Chain A
Amino acid sequence: EVQLVESGGGLVQAGGSLRLSCAVSGFTFSDHYMDWVRLAPGKGLEWVARSRNKARSYTTEYAASVKGRFTVSRDDSNKSLYLQMNSLETEDTAVYYCVRVLTGHNYPFDYWGQGTLVTVSS
């Protein structure tokens, strides 16, 4: 069974930092691209970042709203995905989801974690 479990969310002041983790099981983590997506209160889903696999040299992509502040990384040996969030803003308050990306088919999403809440106070 595919499982993705996020952790690391919490309350942080604006300007602070937080590191989210996503531990996975039930599939070969190293084969897959992995993404972060967030849902802010009263808003819609927003794609945040992508981590490609070793075959694609672990390259990354970011939404403009987080580029330069957030860094996505992964540890294939520990089957974990990370999101380092620096210079946090109140607009970053959201539930953050870890998402598995299907291999091929131009890489759509398939499985989602349950999410971890990040609250940035002013």
Chain B
Amino acid sequence: DIQMTQSPSSLSASVGDRVTITCRASQGINNYLAWFQQKPGKAPKSLIYAASSLLSGVPSRFSGSGSGTDFTLTISSLQPEDFATYYCQQYDSYPLDFGGGTKVEIK
């Protein structure tokens, strides 16, 4: 199995801040890396696939980068609706493992 390690596990930030979350795979995943946002009591929302491709309707302040085993999700200017937990996921091979999540809280 491929292990997905996210960091940090939580962070505090203010509206307008630039936020970066990292995700490391235990082996190469051919850039088959996705990012998701989940708010309490709500369904997850897909944000990014193929490491850097935004899904339709996702605000442009979200961006993804990286290759090989190291990837990042960046929120260029944090908005009130962005406070949530973010997960990365590899979909290169089964099982389709997720990272442990990063909780973005209000400072």
**Which of A18-26, A72-80, A84-92, A111-119 sits within the interface?**
A111-119
List the 8 closest pairs (A to B, CB-CB), nearest first: A108-B49, A47-B96, A112-B43, A45-B98, A44-B101, A108-B34, A63-B95, A106-B32
Within 8 A of A (CB), among B49-74: 49-50, 53, 55
Q: Is the interface of B mostly helix, strand, loop or mixed?
A: loop
Instruction: Please report the total number of A residues contacting B with Cβ < 8 Å.
Output: 24
> Chain B: interface residue count, which band?
20 to 34
Q: Is the interface of A mostly helix, strand, loop or mixed?
A: strand
- CB atoms of B95 and A108 under 8 A apart: no
Within 8 A of B (CB), among A19-63: 35, 37, 39, 44-47, 50, 61, 63
Interface residues of A (CB under 8 A from B): 35, 37, 39, 44-47, 50, 61, 63-64, 97, 102, 105-115
B95 neighbours in A (Cβ, 8 Å): 47, 61, 63-64
Q: Smallest distance from the beta carbon of B17 to chain A beta carbons, Å?
A: 24
